[in-house]
């Protein structure tokens, strides 16, 4: 499994510049257009045309399988600010992952949502058309909120200002988000057909796990991450007798010990000797010659002169 994942990472790295560059800009602009149109004419005509509707998809309106990403719930200025926030997060993730891998990540999330909705979600009768938007309207929202979880995994020590005052690290907000999603899954307060629509957060989380996997440990505190990454040190051999003091006839200057590794992570200190399965790379943006493991090559503070 590790070899498969490593091969996938190499493939994505070799093709990192392929795909739709700046994808989240187009997604954010599309959502902004839908919101502005709803604010201007006071209706949701464009929203209803693009939203996910299983009945209409089966009738041939297949564009709804993708265009629902432009229907993130909202119809005000605050929602436009949230779109800008998701755009910034998407740009950072694309810079870390590469354009190709980020495209795969986003579109696989879209497809997983489609598959789940088409297979498990029931067709809503015409008599309940008033609730048509309700069950599927949060699909895009859950998909985009998973981007924040991915950003916090890649940049766990980044800081966010809550209410523009209180600084909180990304990994803390990610854990709060996961807790709220668990509550949302068990929230059965809507009047009709909530199940299995309440499982959409799990679909978005499944896509996150598919790409992040073991990187979820980055959501732990830094001290825990370092302890989990380092091997248990070997106990030094017991010495017998009296150690000769420097200057005495029996004293021998210790010979310099050869370096027993080729690569050592600047952040966590892991080496290719202790962890032969880890990949190590050198950052071109850091001043000097600094090596990082695969867990920190994309989420470290760049060293400047």
- Residue ranges per domain, the chain? 2-223, 261-305
- Give me the pLDDT at residue 232, please: 41
CA angle 214, 217, 219 (to 5 degrees): 130
- Give me the pLDDT at residue 106, please: 93
CATH code given to domain 2-223:
1.20.1540
- Give me the pLDDT at residue 103, please: 93
**Ranges in the chain, pLDDT < 50:** 129-134, 191-193, 230-238, 240, 246, 256
DSSP the chain: -HHHHHHHHHHHHHTTT-S-TTHHHHHHHHHHHHHHHHHHHSS-HHHHHHS--HHHHHTT-TTHHHHGGG--S--SHHHHHHHHHHHHHHHHHHHHH-HHHHHHHHHHHHHHHHHHHHHHSPPPPGGGGGGSHHHHTTHHHHHHHHHHHHHHHHSTT-EEEETTTEEEEHHHHHHHHHHHHHHHHT---SSS--TTGGGHHHHHHHHHHHHHGGGGGGGS-HHHHHHHHSPPPPPPPPP-SPPPPTTSTT--PPPPPPP--S-B-TTT--BTTT-TT--EEE-SSSSS--EEETTTSSSSPPP--
- Give me the pLDDT at residue 242, please: 52
- Give me the pLDDT at residue 43, please: 62
- Give me the pLDDT at residue 188, please: 60
């Amino acid at each position: 499994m590790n070899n498969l994942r490593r091969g996938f990472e190499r493939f994505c790295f070799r093709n990192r510049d392929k795909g739709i560059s700046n994808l989240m800009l187009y997604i954010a602009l599309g959502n902004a257009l839908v919101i502005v149109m709803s604010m201007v004419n006071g209706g949701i005509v464009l929203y209803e045309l693009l939203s996910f509707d299983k009945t209409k998809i089966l009738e041939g309106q297949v564009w709804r399988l993708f265009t629902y990403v432009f229907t993130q719930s909202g119809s005000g200025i605050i929602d436009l600010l949230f779109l800008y926030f998701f755009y910034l997060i998407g740009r950072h993730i694309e810079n870390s992952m590469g354009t190709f891998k980020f495209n795969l990540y986003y579109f696989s999330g879209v497809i997983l949502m489609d598959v789940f909705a088409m297979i498990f979600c029931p067709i809503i009768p015409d008599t309940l058309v008033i609730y048509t938007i309700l069950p599927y309207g949060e699909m895009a929202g859950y998909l985009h909120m998973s981007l924040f979880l991915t950003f916090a995994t890649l940049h766990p020590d980044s800081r966010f200002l809550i209410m523009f005052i209180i600084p909180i690290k990304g990994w803390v907000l990610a854990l709060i988000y996961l807790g709220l999603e668990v509550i949302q899954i068990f929230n059965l307060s809507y009047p009709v057909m909530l199940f299995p629509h309440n499982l959409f957060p799990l679909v978005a989380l499944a896509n996150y796990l598919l790409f992040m996997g073991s990187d979820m440990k980055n959501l732990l505190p830094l001290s825990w991450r370092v302890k989990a990454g380092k091997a248990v040190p070997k106990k030094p051999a017991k010495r017998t007798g009296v150690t000769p003091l420097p200057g005495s006839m029996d004293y021998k200057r210790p010979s310099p010990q050869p370096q027993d590794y080729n690569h050592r992570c600047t952040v966590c200190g892991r080496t290719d000797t202790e962890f032969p399965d880890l990949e190590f790379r050198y950052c071109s943006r850091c001043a000097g010659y600094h090596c990082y493991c695969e867990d920190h090559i994309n989420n470290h503070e760049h060293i400047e002169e």
